[in-house]
Amino acid sequence: MVIEEIKLKDFRKHQDSTFFSEAYVKLLLGKYLTEEELINLLSIAIVFSNWGDNDLQKLGYKIIVSYSNKYSDFKPLYDFAINKGYIPISKFIESNHSLNKEFEEHFFGLFFSSFKENFKEKNYYISNGQKKLIEFSANNDSNIVLTAPTSYGKSEIIINKVFNNLDKKICIIVPSKALLSQTKKRLLDSSINNELTRIITHPEMYKGNEKKFVSVLTQERLLRLLQKNEVLNFDLILIDEAHNLFGDKKNDGRSILLAQVIIILKARNNNVIFNFFSPFISNPDNLKVKQSDYEISSKGIEEFIKSEKYFICDVYSSEGELLLYEQFSNSLISTGKLFKSAIEILHYEKASKNIVYLNRPKHIEDFSQKLSDSFPDMNDNIVEIITTISDYLHPEYNLIKCIKKGIVYHHGGMPEIVRLYVENIFTKHLFLNFVITSSTLLEGINIPAEKIFLLSTKKGKSNLSISQFKNLIGRVNRFSEIFNKEKGSLELLEPHVYVIKSEYENKRANIETFIKSKARIELKIIDEVNNLLLKDESTLNESEKKELNKSLEYLENIEPNSTDLENVTYVSSFIAKLCYQNNIYDFDIKYNEEKLIQNLKNYQEHFLSTIKDSNELMYAIYLIFLKDIEIFEDNIKRLQNAPARSFYSMILKWRSSSASYKEMIGSFLKYWSTLTGDNLFVFIGEKWGEEKRNITDFKELYVDLRKKNHSQRVNLAILKIKEEQDFVEFNLLKYIEIISELNLIEPEFYDRIKYGTSDKQLITLLKNGFSLELSKCITQNVYTRFVQINTESEEIIIKSEIIKEMEINSENIILIFEIKFHINHR
Task: Please state the domain extents for the chain.
Answer: 8-123, 128-299, 309-519, 571-753, 759-819
Q: Does domain 309-519 have CATH number 3.40.50.300?
A: yes
Q: For residues 160 and 138, is the Cβ–Cβ distance under 8 A?
A: yes
* pLDDT 10s digits, 183-192: 998 999 888 7
Q: What is the average per-residue pLDDT within 349-364? A: 94
d(CA 658, CA 765): 14
Percentage of the chain modeled with pLDDT above 70: 95
pLDDT of 658 > 80? The answer is: yes
CA atoms within a 13 Å half-sphere pointing along the CA-CB vector of 597: 11
For the CA atoms of 99, 105, 111, 116, what is the dihedral angle to 10 degrees? 20
pLDDT of 1 > 50? The answer is: no
d(CA 368, CA 413): 14
d(CA 499, CA 189): 38
The sign one gets for the Cα dihedral 612, 618, 622, 626 is: positive
The sign one gets for the Cα dihedral 661, 383, 405, 309 is: positive
d(CA 670, CA 392): 19
* pLDDT 10s digits, 146-170: 998 877 788 889 999 999 999 999 9
What pLDDT is attached to residue 16?
Answer: 62
Q: 665: which residues sit within 8 A by CB, 6+ positions away?
A: 393, 394, 714, 717, 718, 721
Q: Is 483 in a helix, a strand, or coil?
A: coil
Q: What is the average per-residue pLDDT within 229-241? A: 95
Which of 54-63, 230-239, 378-387, 399-408 is the least confident region? 378-387
What pLDDT is attached to residue 18?
Answer: 65
For residue 124, with 0-12 CB atoms within 10 Å meaning exposed, 13-18 middle and 19 or more buried, which class applies? middle
pLDDT of 546 > 50? The answer is: yes
pLDDT level of residue 350 (50, 70, 90 thresholds): very high
What pLDDT is attached to residue 231?
Answer: 92
pLDDT level of residue 24 (50, 70, 90 thresholds): very high
pLDDT level of residue 107 (50, 70, 90 thresholds): very low
What pLDDT is attached to residue 804?
Answer: 95
pLDDT level of residue 98 (50, 70, 90 thresholds): low
Q: 580: which residues sit within 8 A by CB, 6+ positions away?
A: 554, 557, 558, 571, 589
The sign one gets for the Cα dihedral 64, 69, 72, 78 is: positive
Higher pLDDT, residue 381 or 286:
286
Of the chain, the end-to-end C-alpha distance in Å amounts to 64
Q: What is the average per-residue pLDDT within 6-35? A: 82
Q: Which helix (H) or strand (E) holds 310?
A: strand 309-314
| Nearest alpha-carbon partner for 408 in 391, 386, 387 | 386
d(CA 433, CA 346): 10
Q: Is 334 in a helix, a strand, or coil?
A: strand
d(CA 451, CA 351): 6
Q: At what angle do helices 747-755 and 760-767 cross, to 10 degrees?
A: 40
Long-range contacts, stretch 182-187, CB < 8 angstroms, 24+ apart: 182/420, 182/444, 183/155, 183/158, 183/216, 183/240, 184/216, 184/769, 184/821, 184/822, 185/820, 185/821, 186/155, 186/159, 187/159, 187/162, 187/214, 187/216
pLDDT of 365 > 70? The answer is: yes
What pLDDT is attached to residue 471?
Answer: 86
Higher pLDDT, residue 412 or 649:
649
CA atoms within a 13 Å half-sphere pointing along the CA-CB vector of 170: 22
d(CA 132, CA 115): 16
Average pLDDT, the chain: 90
Q: For residues 359 and 458, is the Cβ–Cβ distance under 8 A?
A: yes
d(CA 290, CA 723): 36
pLDDT of 468 > 80? The answer is: yes
What pLDDT is attached to residue 440?
Answer: 76
Q: How far is CA 443 from CA 181, 508, 792, in A?
A: 13, 28, 35
Q: Which CATH architecture has domain 128-299?
A: 3-Layer(aba) Sandwich (3.40)
pLDDT level of residue 17 (50, 70, 90 thresholds): low
What's the CA angle centered on 230, arms 736 and 220, to 5 degrees?
50
pLDDT of 119 > 80? The answer is: no
For the CA atoms of 80, 86, 92, 94, what is the dihedral angle to 10 degrees? 50
d(CA 245, CA 241): 8
What pLDDT is attached to residue 768?
Answer: 87
Q: What is the average per-residue pLDDT within 136-141? A: 88
* pLDDT 10s digits, 664-700: 999 999 999 999 988 888 888 888 888 888 777 788 8
Instruction: Quote the radius of gyration of the chain (alpha carbons, Å).
Output: 28
The amino acid at residue 471 is N
Q: What are phi and psi of 119, to 5 degrees?
A: -105, 15
* pLDDT 10s digits, 612-645: 999 999 999 999 999 999 998 888 998 999 999 9
